[in-house]
Amino acid sequence: MHLTSETVESLVEHLSKLPTVGRKTAQRLAAYVLKMPREEVVELARALVAAKDKVKECSVCFNVTDDDPCPVCRSERRDRSIICVVEEPSDVLALERTGEFRGLYHVLGGVISPLDGVGPDDLHVRELIARVATPASSGAAAPDGTVREPGADGGPEGVPVREVILAMNPNVEGDTTSYYLGQLLAPFGIAVTRIARGLPIGGDLEFADEATLSRALEGRAGL
């Protein structure tokens, strides 16, 4: 026998699966939902489903977008010679908020973490190397020896990447991933820099304030 409503229990159950939402918070959210006007609940439910159905990954940078390629990759005002590599789409948002960065992004979709069984093949590493190799009209080869077709990323041809900024979170996995990417990018002879100076160790890029993030971006250093 259930002392409370099974329906409410189920809602609490679903809400508590969300990150950072514990059982207590889930109960509070469920109580709030019950008090919301019906139309607002329907709108919330629709927004959840629409986010799932309509939002896709940009085929170039793997950021979340309604249209592929995403607005950043399509923009003619961005500096196509600089690619900033981040872990998650939320990091793109954080960096865009600083208004400081005018280059392009590459979302890895996580970090290398042997403990969690996440290796380079589970991330968009290959695609990053392809982007760096792609615009080289000189026929530069990727580390595996293959030569990529120019313009394969859909962007304008002939803008060689001259810098890759690694903007992983300052923790062990972030360091491991940066080191790995640094090694992989070394043969291309481009600048590989890393932000995170000034970011709190173990902190999350996503939650850094804009000033700190701007400074970290400005103070980036070579690997």
Site residues (CB under 5 A) for Zn ion?
58, 60-61, 69-70, 73
Count other Cβ atoms within 10 Å, centred on residue 221: 9
Find the shortest distance in angstroms from Cβ 63 to Zn ion.
5
Nearer to Zn ion, 58 or 184 (CB): 58
Find the shortest distance in angstroms from Cβ 209 to Zn ion.
25
Find the shortest distance in angstroms from Cβ 17 to Zn ion.
29
Cα separation, 209 vs 109, whole angstroms:
22
Give, as one character, the DSSP assignment of residue 119. Answer: -
Cα separation, 140 vs 151, whole angstroms:
14
Nearer to Zn ion, 59 or 212 (CB): 59
Find the shortest distance in angstroms from Cβ 19 to Zn ion.
24
Q: Give Cα 6 distance to the centre of its chain.
A: 37
Q: Give one word for 220, left, alpha or beta, with left for phi > 0 and alpha for psi -120 to 50.
A: beta
Nearer to Zn ion, 69 or 203 (CB): 69
Find the shortest distance in angstroms from Cβ 69 to Zn ion.
5
Nearer to Zn ion, 30 or 72 (CB): 72
**In terms of Cα–Cα distance, which of 115, 107, 97 is closest to 213?**
97
Residue 45 phi, psi dihedral angles, 5° rounding = -60, -40
